[in-house]
Structures are given as structure tokens and as C-alpha cells.
Amino acid sequence: MPNAPLPEYAAALAAAGAALLAAGVLHRIRLGRLRESLRRRESELVELSERLRRHSEHLRLVIDTVPAYIYAKDDAGHFILVNRLFARVFGVEPEEVTGKTNEDYGATPEETARFMEEDREILRSGKPLFVPEERAPRPDGSPGWFQTTKIPYRHPDWEKPAILGVSVDITENKEQAEALRRSARHDPLTGLANRALFSELLGKALAVTRRERNKLALLFIDLDDFKPVNDNYGHAAGDAVLEETARRIERTLRESDGAGRFGGDEFVAFAFGISRREDAAAVAEKVREAIRAPIDLGTSVLGVTASVGFAVFPEDGTDEESLVRRADEEMYREKQERSGKKRPRT
């Protein structure tokens, strides 16, 4: 302003300087606030990142602690996530399993194809799959039984659909159930069929024999003077004698034949392929000879004998009751002849 009076020019200049100063102060204030906001935001992000890290570690700890085999696979059958227990089956760390397939760890092509078929059906239907029980190796390499659930799954870092599987080891439950089932149908001491199971097996054997128009021998076996074994050597020795007797009877018979224990020192057996009565007598004699051999109990050697009666289907009976009754009578007749005593009337 060349023509402006000096006082007015000075005033204008002062006003401009004051405005610039005020603007600078305001800018510094705003810049300070922005810096403070950025520091707080950075601190929040650091805290959030730390929380996410701890959360991720916690989730990893959870799936590694859960007593189940947890895994996720993509639609091509590659593992994208496994927990530590699952990785232990393969003897590696969890991160080493990523990108591998079941075939990489010993699954047969047939097993792999079955897994892939199951997974494709889950992805197609969007419905979970529940497998009540299936065999698979345990971490120690022993065979086990597992209950598996598979569901559709989408990994946060994976665009394609995937499968999440959880398998629970039910081997102990399976074995307990099998033990209960076996104890209900087998003699707990010898493992032979109990009365109920033997009756079932004999019924099936008789049906086959009728259809083939053949014969069958039923044997009733009773140890002689077994009570003194328990009295003189103890019940443990008596049990050992009964167990060994059962094994000898089984070894005498063929795989298609059957044996059972009715209780005490009474055993029963049946033999297929009997064409003559002499064949049944020969089987009975083999059983006698097998039982007669000395039994070494470690601390003593015992000699045990048995009386064996037999009946032949169909001439001695056409059903279980009549055959067992006839074989029982023959067994007692043999025992009476040995002891010279008569069987009391019942």
C-alpha cells in the first residue's frame, strides 16, 4: 500500500502478524491434539494386537487341551488346522501337518477316497455328518475306536469352503461294552460259551445238520473227583485246572465245533461231521485223553480224569434238551462204572 498513511499500514501489518500468530498457535494446538490422538490410537492398536495374540494363544491352548482329535481340511483334502493331539498320531508338530493329506500319513487310497466322498457330501448338503464309531490309529500306534462329527467350516483366512472334524476316542468305552457283552455270553473263568450262548450255537449247528442231512455228536464232560483238588491245593489251583481243561477241550475240537461250560466242573461240546456212532465215541476218547495228561501248576503236577458221555443226532434226540439229557445219562453211566456206585434216583 504505497499511498496508505504509515500508521494505517503499520496497523494492518500488525493485524496480519497477529492473525498469522493466532493461526500458528491454533495449528500447533491442533497438531498436538492429532499427535495425542495418534498416540492413543497406536496404544489402542498395540493393546488390541496383544489381546488378539493372547486370544489366539488361548484358543490354541483350548483345542490342544481338549481330549479330542480336532482338524480342518479344505475341499481338496489338505489339512489347514489340527490340534496337538491329532498331530501326535503322525508323530509331528501341528504346524507340520498343514498342507498335508491323509495319504501323506499312511491312509490307503480306499480310505482317502472314502474321506473325500464324506467331505464332498457335507459341503454339498451343508449338513453335518455323525459317525458313531470307526477304527483309526491312536497316538501310541495302537488301533482304536473313534466317534467322529464333521461339519461345514469356513476358515477366516481361507476363501474356499472347508470341513471341521472332531473325533473322540471311545476305545475304552468300546472295550468295556465288549467285555460286558462277552461276560453275558461267556463263562468268566474259562472264556467258553455259557449255557445261553452254547444253546444258541447248538441250535444253529442242529439247523445246519438237518439241512445237510448229516449227524452231530453232543458231548457231556464231567471231571472225576474234582472236589479234592480245591480241598488239597486251593481254589486257585482248582481254577487253573478248569481253565486248562477248557483249553484242552477246545484244542481237541475243530474250528467249526463248539464248547461250553455249564458250571462247576461240567463242560459240553458238539462236533460236526459225524457219520457213525463210532466217530462220536472217537471224539469222546480224544477228549478223555487230552484231559488225562498231567497238568503242571508250577508248584505241583496234577493228574485229572474226566467222564465223557455222548449222544448222536438224530437217533439219540432231535433237539437240545433230549441230546443233553441222553449225553448226561451216558456220562453218569461211565462215572458209575468207574466208581462202582449207582446214580441216585432223582
Cis peptide before 314 (omega within 30 of 0): yes
Q: Are 245 and 236 in contact (CB under 8 A)?
A: no
Look at residue 5 in the predicted model and tell me its pLDDT.
64
Over residues 146-166, the pLDDT tens digits come to 999 999 987 776 677 889 999
Q: Are 220 and 327 in contact (CB under 8 A)?
A: yes
The single residue listed with the C-alpha cell 465215541 is 281
The single residue listed with the C-alpha cell 481237541 is 252
Three-state SS string over 286-321 comes to: HHHHHHHCCEECCCCEECCCEEEEEEEECCCCCCHH
* Sequence-distant (≥ 6) Cβ neighbours of residue 165 within 8 angstroms: 69, 70, 71, 72, 73, 148, 149, 150, 151
**Angle subtended by helix axes 320-339 and 195-211, to nearest 10:** 110
Look at residue 53 in the predicted model and tell me its pLDDT.
60
Ranges for all domains in the chain classified under CATH 3.30.70.270: 186-339
By CB neighbour count within 10 A (0-12 exposed, 13-18 middle, 19+ buried), where does 217 fall?
buried
- Categorize the per-residue pLDDT at 344 as very low, low, confident or very high, splitting at 50, 70 and 90: very low
Residue 150's DSSP bridge partners are 129, 165
Name the DSSP class of 119: H
Q: Are 150 and 115 in contact (CB under 8 A)?
A: no
Q: What is the architecture of the domain spanning 186-339?
A: 2-Layer Sandwich (3.30)
Cα gap 72→164, rounded to integer Å: 4
* Nearest Cα residue to 301 out of 227, 251, 240: 240
The chain-wide mean pLDDT, for the chain, equals 85
Whether 252 shows a pLDDT value over 60: the answer reads yes
CATH superfamily label, 64-175: PAS domain (3.30.450.20)
311: its cell numbers: 449222544
Task: Tell how far CA 43 is from the center of its chain.
Answer: 52
pTM of the model: 0.57
The mean per-residue pLDDT over the stretch 247-270 comes to 95
Whether 345 shows a pLDDT value over 50: the answer reads no
Look at residue 11 in the predicted model and tell me its pLDDT.
74
The single residue listed with the C-alpha cell 500319513 is 105
Q: What are the two backbone dihedrals, phi and then psi, of residue 266, each rounded to the nearest 5 degrees?
A: -100, 125
Residue 163's DSSP bridge partners are 73, 152
Residue % of the chain over a pLDDT of 90: 44
Residue 129's DSSP bridge partners are 150
Look at residue 105 in the predicted model and tell me its pLDDT.
82
224: its cell numbers: 472225576
* Nearest Cα residue to 134 out of 124, 143, 121, 125: 143
Ranges for all domains in the chain classified under CATH 3.30.450.20: 64-175
Over residues 198-243, the pLDDT tens digits come to 999 999 999 999 999 999 999 999 999 898 898 888 999 999 999 9
Name the DSSP class of 193: B
* Nearest Cα residue to 323 out of 214, 206, 218: 218
Indicate the length of the chain as a whole number.
346
Over residues 99-116, the pLDDT tens digits come to 998 888 878 888 888 888
Q: Which of 67-76, 174-183, 260-269 has the highest mean pLDDT?
A: 260-269
* Sequence-distant (≥ 6) Cβ neighbours of residue 268 within 8 angstroms: 198, 218, 219, 220, 221, 259, 260, 261, 262, 324, 327
* Nearest Cα residue to 327 out of 248, 286, 245, 271: 271
